[in-house]
Structure 1
């Protein structure tokens, strides 16, 4: 067979590791293996970036494939083609001979073809009496056939990455549109809030995306925009509820409970009153016997929650609540389940619970179902945000002394 050879190049060309590798690939071809050469060529076009070859190099490979007489590449019919540079130039749209030699070397170095040089360096074939090719000298396509599965897998990965990038870009465009229109509405309706600052943050994220970003940059920008959109939605919903208190009976119920207990989270600065009186909401259904939890402890045990806060920093309980709201939406927790948790446990204990869920997200199949379970525990009087933090610390094997006061 034409695949059973190891040969060195003719003339002054030195033997290289790439040539040896290509010839080794040629010997690895399964005698029963075959593939449509043009299907494989299309896969090469998709995977060319990973293989380090250009469109000009592919154009020359296309010309080489056109000299293979069958549609199916198979070792049974031989895999060596032997066109002259002049013939290659005609089928490669007039490519110069010097350019042909350069791109042939690139194909060899990429491990896609292998040289099989004759004693005098000429490309030709020897035939049997019946006209069948007995031996040929030129370029073997055996490495291409041997790597066909690898090349097709590369092409599938490249296509999947391109589709993923398109989806992320589409999500970023929608998120960008949402933020711009939410801010415009807020300014038109004169809703309270630092809308100019939010718009400046929005522009910083958008302007930081280069003209041709990779998937990591677009994903990071989408993450930041989603966090900003979550904060803006939270502010607008609180403003809407303050405009029409009767539309939110659970909020009124929490305000009634305000006089019955005092929040155990007063050891850290609380949000100011420009967002629907979180003091009353945080104190709802929180027992005065529950140990106090500091914001610094929450951030020590649950550092990941900070990634979803405005500017990726949590400065007070309000930022924690806003970040937890974003995470809840990201996890697909229904608004009714989240609202029920806030009504039963309080906004801040719910935010602490969501922060813990985020840290353990790899082990929790249904964050929404788990939050409902915690809500039922709170209704039975057996939920404690402090105990949940302690449990998370023990799971991680933390040894530092906690700041939980009994």
Structure 2
């Protein structure tokens, strides 16, 4: 079957340079190139915002792929499908034929399909005496095969961007909570300062965010909220220091030894220096009276044990896994560099994009990777994928292994540090330089 020849459209449809360019690109497919059509279709679904196609166009493409007899798209299997519009309408759950034609034109315009029209514009196949296809007229799937690597790269970028936005929203939520509760505490305890003005500034920032913000708007809001949080903490720290200096030795001693097991400060570590404090006005001066707990030593010992455990298993103060320095990750896992732009990874976003490509290559499902990113954090999930790639020869099922690590991470039984250190000892003499 002929797939590399240049053809022009039937009837009044004009020939364009874009169509010609797509046909030239499709003719440059490598002889042994092949790709799983359904994996490629899932990547197309991820990359659709960058390709300029909609859901219904993808539904029509899905129907076309269902007419391709093999699971692997390959030139030796033939790349032309020739269903009628009536058959396509049935496989798209009753989509009107006029709508089917419109979305077929959109797929051709996006460079995902090629028309190979017959002399009369009909779609049909001509077979030889042995029953093999000699020539077919219809739609060529060659552009999908030719652009498979590009489509997977675009899908990886979209997924990395989605994880980045998710992380931004999580940080904004935490920052909003911190600022709101710090201002509320300052107002309730009558700390001197323009807290109403600060509260209005906070509300203006939050309410100024559009309903569907861009990534740049989310990043700007996070920067502004972070600055506001730092300003609020600085004001409260100044107040705490002045209160300590104005208090007598008896109050200072009680403040240091305070440990109230019933205090909710276990859930809000940021408030530990003020927890239990109530303002007292005496001759115009503010002192601090702290309630003594029933057990003076239980909480400091418990905090010390928690700090030792977190230092040993690589966890931060919130109990989550701490991301390791990017340079250390790339030294321990140099194989991931091959999946970065031009073989170089310069920042975490590029590492996350490369990790999504590796996930697809190793057969890890999107749900398993997104669950890992949700539990460990986007940076740590990308680090784990880089480690799995580095140890690929020793892992039978990358997806099952990642899910197991995710479950262990939820229970606090998994630390990335030992895995990275082991790989670093192996790869340090031959580690490649990160971009």
Is 2:97 aligned against 1:97? yes
Equivalent positions of 1:75-154 (< 5 A) are 75-154=75-154
Distance in 2 of aligned mates of 1:241 and 1:86: 79
Superposition map of 1:56-71 within 5 A: 56-71=56-71
What is the Cα deviation at residue 56 of structure 1? 0.5
Q: Which residue of 1 aligns with 2:292?
A: none
Q: 2:168 maps to what in 1?
A: 168
Cα displacement string for residues 267-304 of structure 1 (whole angstroms, at most 9, x for unaligned residues): xxxxxxxxxxxxxxxxxxxxxxxxxxxxxxxxxxxxxx
Q: Give 2:74's aligned residue.
A: 74
Q: Partner of 2:202 in structure 1?
A: 202
Larger Rg: 1
The answer for the alignment partner of 1:13 in structure 2 is 13
Give the Cα separation in 2 of the matches to 1:62 and 1:16. Answer: 26
Counterpart CA distance in 1 for 2:84 and 2:121 is 11
Gaps of 5+ in 1: 249-406
Per the normalisation by structure 1, the TM-score is 0.60
Q: Say if 1:2 and 1:135, in contact at 8 Å, map to a contact too.
A: yes
Q: Is the 8 A contact 1:32 1:74 kept in 2?
A: yes
Aligned pair 1:225/2:235, yes or no?
no
Q: How many residues align?
A: 250
- Superposition deviation, residue 124 in structure 1: 0.9
What's the secondary structure of 2:137's corresponding residue? Answer: strand
Report what 1:345 is aligned to.
Answer: none
Query: In structure 2, what is the equivalent of residue 185 of structure 1?
Result: 185
Once the 2 structures are TM-superposed, how far is the Cα of residue 128 of structure 1 from its aligned partner? 2.1
In the TM superposition, residue 189 of structure 1 has moved relative to its aligned partner by 0.9
Partner Cα separation in structure 2 for residue 94 and residue 25 of structure 1: 33
Answer yes or no: is 1:55 the counterpart of 2:42: no
Offset at residue 135 of structure 1 (A): 1.2
Asked if the contact 1:57–1:107 (Cα under 8 Å) also holds between the matched residues in 2, the reply is: yes
The CA distance in 2 between the partners of 1:31 and 1:17, in whole Å, is 25
1:17 shift after superposition:
2.4
**2:156 corresponds to which residue?**
156
1:60 and 1:88 in contact (8 A); partners too: yes
8 Å contact from structure 1 (residues 18, 110) kept in 2: no
Equivalent positions of 1:309-328 (< 5 A) are: none
- The 3-state SS of whatever aligns with 1:115 is strand
Cross-structure match for 1:212: 212
For the residues of structure 2 that align with 1:175 and 1:130, how far apart are their CA atoms? 71
CA distance in 1, matches of 2:221, 2:177: 14
Aligned-residue offset at 1:241: 1.1
Q: Say whether the 8 Å CA contact 1:2–1:79 is kept in structure 2.
A: no
Give the whole-Å Cα distance in 1 for the aligned partners of 2:19 and 2:66.
23
Partners of 1:54 and 1:97 in 2: CA distance:
17
Distance 1:85 1:18 in 2: 24
Q: What's the secondary structure of 1:244's corresponding residue?
A: helix
Kept in 2, the 8 Å contact 1:2–1:80? The answer is no
* 1:162 CA displacement: 0.2
Question: What SS is found at the alignment partner of 1:118?
Answer: coil
1:337-356 → structure 2 map (5 Å cutoff): none
8 Å Cα contact 1:51/1:110 also seen in 2? yes
